[in-house]
Amino acid sequence: MLNTLIIGASGYTGAELAKMVHLHPHLHLAGLYVSAQSLDANKPISELHGQLKGIIDLPLQPLVDVAAVVESADIVLLATAHEVSHDLAPAFLAAGCQVFDLSGAFRVQGDSFYSDYYGFEHQHTHWLEQAVYGLAEWNSDAIKNAQLVAVPGCYPTASQLALKPLLEAGLIDKAQWPVINAVSGVSGAGRKATLTNSFCEVSLQAYGIFNHRHQPEIASHLDCEVIFTPHLGNFKRGILATITAKLLPGVGEEQVAAAMAKAYQHQDEPNAVRLLGGQAASIQNVVNTCFCDIGWLLQDQHIILTSAIDNLLKGASSQAIQCINIRNEFPALTALV
Amino acid sequence: MLNTLIIGASGYTGAELAKMVHLHPHLHLAGLYVSAQSLDANKPISELHGQLKGIIDLPLQPLVDVAAVVESADIVLLATAHEVSHDLAPAFLAAGCQVFDLSGAFRVQGDSFYSDYYGFEHQHTHWLEQAVYGLAEWNSDAIKNAQLVAVPGCYPTASQLALKPLLEAGLIDKAQWPVINAVSGVSGAGRKATLTNSFCEVSLQAYGIFNHRHQPEIASHLDCEVIFTPHLGNFKRGILATITAKLLPGVGEEQVAAAMAKAYQHQDEPNAVRLLGGQAASIQNVVNTCFCDIGWLLQDQHIILTSAIDNLLKGASSQAIQCINIRNEFPALTALV
Amino acid sequence: MLNTLIIGASGYTGAELAKMVHLHPHLHLAGLYVSAQSLDANKPISELHGQLKGIIDLPLQPLVDVAAVVESADIVLLATAHEVSHDLAPAFLAAGCQVFDLSGAFRVQGDSFYSDYYGFEHQHTHWLEQAVYGLAEWNSDAIKNAQLVAVPGCYPTASQLALKPLLEAGLIDKAQWPVINAVSGVSGAGRKATLTNSFCEVSLQAYGIFNHRHQPEIASHLDCEVIFTPHLGNFKRGILATITAKLLPGVGEEQVAAAMAKAYQHQDEPNAVRLLGGQAASIQNVVNTCFCDIGWLLQDQHIILTSAIDNLLKGASSQAIQCINIRNEFPALTALV
Amino acid sequence: MLNTLIIGASGYTGAELAKMVHLHPHLHLAGLYVSAQSLDANKPISELHGQLKGIIDLPLQPLVDVAAVVESADIVLLATAHEVSHDLAPAFLAAGCQVFDLSGAFRVQGDSFYSDYYGFEHQHTHWLEQAVYGLAEWNSDAIKNAQLVAVPGCYPTASQLALKPLLEAGLIDKAQWPVINAVSGVSGAGRKATLTNSFCEVSLQAYGIFNHRHQPEIASHLDCEVIFTPHLGNFKRGILATITAKLLPGVGEEQVAAAMAKAYQHQDEPNAVRLLGGQAASIQNVVNTCFCDIGWLLQDQHIILTSAIDNLLKGASSQAIQCINIRNEFPALTALV
């Protein structure tokens, strides 16, 4: 049993992680932590997330001294804010822990990326360079040898899983930037009180047009410019990305289907992508699952892809567990299906 | 045209009031005010309530000096917090304005009521005694002569309009306290950022069990003890009250129907109650209307009443306008239907 | 007062039309009709649409004989199925009525359009050629002289109002087809029982990919190919279209703003478009209004437009009334604001 | 491994059962069946319930001949309509299968109950008498020896689990009938196309007032008259029951707490009730769990209980599995937590 800590366990992804670690046959939930300043410190997690009552009633311990907790940890899950992850990860890494970071702190290489999009200068470029991007279906080999896995963002997961097979197969006309329209449930904004997320204010609406930090994350990992427009939707969880791209001349349905099958229908390792062919993906079918559903249709040299995930699971927590499984050579979907 | 001010115009009821005053043939929207400390001060109301854009773009003026604004006002609508209404009303009243207060500051007579339920000692008992309770269908004569109208709360409106005809007719066994279960949309909590009202946290749930301030408001105005249990529902607006009461021996359908008809199907004055007979009231049919729908069924000497209103309209803003209409001898539903 | 009939009055758009005609100072609601076979025939409209109770309780008369009803009509609103409108319109037109058709029966010129997209051969090409497309902000002059107005579809209204100013001004690179992603509330599917529209099955999902009949309606009226992907959203009413287009070289913010202002900020005639500039349109701000809100942002020679309407109002019923107003030289937004 | 069949597997409870049987360490999902006439016959279950894709893709076989399938079954789950369960159960029972019926066909003893409330005469009173009511927390001993378990309805489960501890302890004044107000998600009406359940028609509303078949189910098993008012709510799953009852003179908080603890906080057998004390139950905390959450408060000799379950799980499918576990001496919550 690998001792597993969750730092930042008070939020929605933290609660999902706790449940999955608890049910995992090879992981032991060794501790839940929140910031020492948190008003939730010392409360049982089930007081914040009532659905866990009777299942996980562990307290949210204040993280006062990393050195004191690191001893007990084989694996550390960071479900913390970007800067907090940035600050905390090195100490856990130096102590030899495996670190799986759900924030954006180690996802993208590039000099000005963190100052431009996250508002801080990255101080740990050594670890940034070592970090493996945890898009589980694509980086399995690297994840197996990683000490630090940067679990991808929710929009990037839905977007890349759909586009990457076609880009890798050289089917997309990259000169005409793919258009990604995506709608996320409100839980993507985290567990906090804001007017924007208050029940009466939420309605379908685009935000972060042309300047959302997930745009460069997608573009850099796909090596392809994209136009990415996120939207807030009036539902609690799930993301649907609708992606329109131009195919290179002569590319037809067979090549697309073959590229998808090559990526996701192989015998190497179980994965969490379900191919729907001509059927459209829907949020309902993926919510509360670890899956990404992908459908596609072609016409007039264009392709429209639909890709759906649970933003808290394949877009965060279950993908982190999938990475843990791969890293530790458990079957990739252990405790997820 | 009567010059009408709205104080506390930034909230949901304020926006509804602004729209109705704007459309009213005999009222002139003379000014919108918010607290001088409000972060919304000087913004156009349509920046907060985008649906008003192009219709009402007046600024939310900071209320610095009541004396300076009172001059321009014939009518003042207070859509302010309870204590703010308590503090502001006397100055407007002293200047001769008609004041329609949507808060709880002048609704209930009784020594310890404000300290027990609102957390402050009432300083204006003179005005409290003069205040007329604006349950429009029942207090029409008093409203006609009132200078200060305390517009009822949302739950009390839905509850009283259903029960009062039966109590007035002496049909209810008051020894067995009527049970009022009511569910309100989230807008009832106002326009503000709280974790409780954040989109992902809202789900059907009782609150304020045995200690909600609307319980004594209902009981005192009905002169009948009741058990009142409010619930938060996952919808934006509307209230449904389901009321179970015991009838006195021998009371049957005819007497109930007669009592309802006597209360609401007369030629005296148009009113905002729609009688559904044996059909159940639903939120959908009253949202965005000024109406209260009431249905009822009898069995085994019990009656179940269902009563639905829009909490922001008949439960607040349209009832205030209805009171203005009655007070100024306009047809009661002017600008409301 | 112009006598106005509503045919197909049982649905959601019919109910909205009834309310607006009822409130209109120059229209008289002369009759509500449904198919003679309808199970709703002879019921009061308020039995189907409870929110109308006490306001409009007229019966839904079975339409047995057009000749018998045509006498009483100056204006006919057809809120009927496409083929029904196709079959009924000529008789009303021959009798001299003004006909405003909310179906697709007279919207698009072109030989095979109706057989390809609506499954029937058009039999009334004479009237089809005479029909004026009722995109109110753009076809005002033609509407003034029309006898038959084909009110645009909901998606086409949201899409065209955003794109047309830019296309008319020659700012868009039409070689790279604009991508329109739009999400509609469930009321767009009409008032009927289907598994797809049942509460538990609805979740955000694309449909009609590459083959929705609104694609050619948009493309033919804009004279520009577009890629249009409609989605079903989990809300009752409203449409949000997010549109991505490539601008011609050298086109910048000023030219876009000028084109928008020219189209919608003039003194000629009041219109129902509200320009938001750099702010994103949201469904909440347009629901229950007659408005189309349009926002836009530019970057890297691309523009992203967001356009929101109430699908039942600006996408159907209020646009029909707007056309009636224009046709009869009432102020264009009479009874709408 | 016990071979387990699910009859009526196309609905929401069927899909939940399939998932739980699939994950159960001691059960083998031996077949999914639907009526031979069903349009869904021969489709994979994952075509109807997309969330099962890749997990359970078994076909929904048409049930043509019970004799042919009975051979392969140790356990039969009937998720069928009341009359279908009534007709099918005896053949499975005669063949020696354990039958767990999720319909109302074997829940209530009493001569005229089925003709009064279900519209058919019961033909299998022998089995009706033998049937054990599967309220798992209360009938454990009988379930252990049962061949036919009638799994309780969703409303009765939420209601009885809250009231039964107090009634068994003799704390309730039965002369004043407890008032049960309950709100159910739309999935309670099953997977079918009706106007009532269509997305745009659903809003909070009472139904079945004074004549819902769950009222006598509750009353007969509690041996206490109750007033039960069910409501439809605008959410997919979950039930919240708010129950108001009068306590006998002298009953206080301690006795209530002791009765609850005696019922649910013992060492005999794990159960699916979580006691919340003075906190109110909410739907969010129980959805997608097997739990019933119960909270309560006292005042003036009255008690208000709130009780929440997932209507498809503790109100149907997980309670059926809980009964299977008890019957076969597996830990009661096997495969449920």
Is the minimum CB–CB distance between C277 and chain B shorter than 8 Å?
A: no
Asked if the C-beta of C248 comes within 8 angstroms of chain A's C-beta atoms, the answer is: no
Which residues, 6+ apart, have CB-to-CB distance to B3 below 8 Å?
B28, B30, B72, B73, B74, B75
Asked whether the beta carbons of residue B289 and residue C51 sit closer than 8 angstroms, the reply is yes
Q: Where are the beta strands (DSSP E) in chain A?
A: 2-7, 27-35, 60-63, 75-78, 98-101, 132-133, 148-150, 179-184, 205-206, 227-232, 239-246, 273-277, 292-299, 302-309
Average pLDDT over residues D112-131: 95
User: What is the predicted pLDDT for the residue at C12?
Assistant: 98
Mutate which of B53, B294, B336 to disrupt the C interface (most C C-beta within 10 Å)? B53
Residues in chain D: 337
pLDDT, tens digit, for every residue of A167-208? Answer: 999 999 999 999 999 999 999 999 999 999 999 999 999 999
In the complex, which subunits touch C with 3 or more CB pairs below 8 angstroms?
Answer: A, B, D
Q: How far apart are CA B14 and CA B6, in angstroms?
A: 7
A187 touches chain B (CB under 8 A): yes
Interface residue D234 vs chain B (CB under 8 A): yes
Residue B278: CB atoms within 10 A of its CB come to: 11
- pLDDT of residue C232 exceeding 80: yes
C64–A contact, CB cutoff 8 A: no
Interchain CB distance below 8 Å, B231 and D209: no
User: For the CA atoms of C100, C104, C108, C111, what is the dihedral angle to 10 degrees?
Assistant: -130
One of C97, C154, C290, C292 is an active-site residue; which one? C154
SS3 A10: coil
Q: Which residues of C touch D237 (CB under 8 A)?
A: 200
Per-residue pLDDT reduced to its tens digit, B10-42: 999 999 999 999 999 999 999 999 999 999 999
pLDDT one-digit tens code per residue, D127-154 = 999 999 999 999 999 999 999 999 999 9
Average pLDDT, chain A: 97
At residue B267, does pLDDT exceed 90? no
Give me the helices (H) in chain C, please. Answer: 12-23, 45-48, 66-70, 82-94, 113-117, 125-130, 140-144, 154-168, 214-222, 253-264, 283-286, 317-327
* CB < 8 Å to B287, chain D: 203
* pLDDT for residue D210 is more than 80: yes
Does D3 reach chain A within 8 Å, measured CB to CB? Answer: no
Residue reference for tokens 């992850």: A85
Residue C111 has pLDDT above 80, yes or no: no
Q: How many Cβ pairs closer than 8 A exist between chain B and C?
A: 35
Q: pLDDT at position A72, please?
A: 86
Alpha-carbon distance of D9 to D57, in angstroms, equals 12
Residue A8: name the closest of A66, A60, A72, A51 by CA: A60
Q: How far apart are CA A182 and CA A308, in angstroms?
A: 9
Measured CA to CA, the distance from residue A167 to residue C299 in angstroms comes to 24
Q: What is the ipTM of this complex?
A: 0.96
Nearest alpha-carbon partner for C317 in C115, C161, C103: C103
Domains in chain C, start-ordered, CATH in brackets? 2-151+316-327 (3.40.50.720), 154-309 (3.30.360.10)
Run of H or E including C252: none
Q: For residue D291, which residues of chain A lie inside 8 Å, CB to CB? A: 53-54
- Contact state of B51 with C286 under an 8 Å Cβ cutoff: yes
Q: Alpha helices of C134-252 — where are they, by DSSP H?
A: 140-144, 154-168, 214-222
Mean pLDDT calculated for residue range C112-121: 94
Nearest CA in chain D to C201: D191
Is the distance from CB of A110 to CB of A220 less than 8 angstroms?
yes
User: Cβ–Cβ of B193/A191 closer than 8 Å?
Assistant: no
Active site residue D292: no
Q: Which two tokens stand for residue B115?
A: 């300290």
For residue C269, name the pLDDT band (cuts at 50, 70, 90): confident
CB contact under 8 A, A181 and C242: yes
CB contact under 8 Å between A287 and D51, yes or no, is yes
Inter-chain touch C54–B286, beta carbons under 8 Å: no
Choose from B159, B176, B181, B237 for mutation: most chain D CBs within 10 A: B181
Under the banding of pLDDT at 50, 70 and 90, the label for residue B194 is: very high
Task: Give the pLDDT band (50/70/90) at residue C72.
Answer: confident
Whether the Cβ atoms of residue A219 and residue A173 lie closer than 8 Å to each other: no
Instruction: Name which of C51, C53, C291 is nearest B54 (Cβ-Cβ).
Output: C291
For chain D, list the contacting chains (3+ Cβ pairs, <8 Å). Answer: A, B, C
Q: Which residues does chain D have within 8 Å of residue A50's beta carbon, measured at their own beta carbons? A: 282, 284-285, 293
Res D313 pLDDT > 90: yes
- Asked if the Cβ–Cβ distance from B195 to A195 is below 8 Å, we say no
| Closest residue in chain D to residue B201, using alpha carbons only | D284
Residue type, C3: N
Residue D227 to residue B206, Cβ atoms within 8 A = no
Q: How far apart are CA D317 and CA D101, in angstroms?
A: 10
pTM for the complete prediction? 0.97
State whether C51 and B274 contact (CB < 8 Å): no
Does A177 contact C at CB distance below 8 Å? Answer: yes
- Strand-pair partners of B298: B303
Weakest mean pLDDT among A277-286, C105-114, C181-190, D295-304: C105-114
Chains that touch B (3 or more CB pairs under 8 A): A, C, D
Q: Is D123 within 8 Å of chain B by CB?
A: no
Q: Is D250 on the interface with A (CB under 8 A)?
A: no
Cα–Cα distance list, D56 to C321, D20, D70 (Å):
52, 11, 22
User: A279-305 b/e with 16+ CB inside 10 Å = b?
Assistant: bbbbbbbbbebbbbbbbbbbeeebbbb
Number of neighbouring beta carbons within 10 Å of residue C100: 29
Chain B closest CA to A233's CA: distance in Å?
11
The CA distance from C334 to C324, in Å, is 10
> Band of the pLDDT at C110, cuts 50, 70, 90?
confident
Cβ-based contacts of D282 with chain A (< 8 Å): 50
* CA–CA distances in Å: residue D8 to residues A303, C200, D48: 39, 18, 13
Q: Find out whether C178 and C303 touch, Cβ atoms under 8 Å.
A: no
Interhelix angle D12-23/D317-327, rounded to 10 degrees, is: 40
CB contact (8 A) between residue D203 and residue B238 = yes
Confirm or reject contact between D198 and chain C (CB < 8 A).
Answer: yes
3-state SS, residue D101? strand
**Contact residues on chain B for A198, CB-CB shorter than 8 A:** 186, 191-194, 197-199
Is the Cβ pair D287, A51 closer than 8 Å? Answer: yes
Question: How many CA atoms lie within 13 Å of B15's alpha carbon, on the beta-carbon side?
Answer: 21
pLDDT band at C36 (very low <50, low <70, confident <90, very high): very high
Cα-based distances in Å from B302 to B264, D230, D304:
22, 16, 19
> Cβ(C236)–Cβ(C101) under 8 Å?
no
How many whole angstroms separate alpha carbon B14 and alpha carbon B10? Answer: 6
CB contact under 8 A, B282 and C55: no
Q: CB-based contact (8 Å) between B235 and chain D?
A: yes
pLDDT at residue C267 in the model: 83
User: Which residues of chain A carry a pLDDT beneath 70?
Assistant: none
- Decide if B197 touches A, using CB distance below 8 A: yes
Residue range D226-249: mean pLDDT, rounded:
98
What is the structure's pLDDT at A246? 98
Task: Count other C-beta atoms under 10 Å from residue C229's C-beta.
Answer: 25
Pick the residue from chain C with its C-alpha nearest to B287: C51
Phi-psi region of B211 (alpha: psi -120 to 50; beta: other; left: phi over 0): alpha
Rounded to the nearest integer, the mean pLDDT of chain C is 97
- What pLDDT is recorded for position A267? 83
A286 touches chain D (CB under 8 A): yes
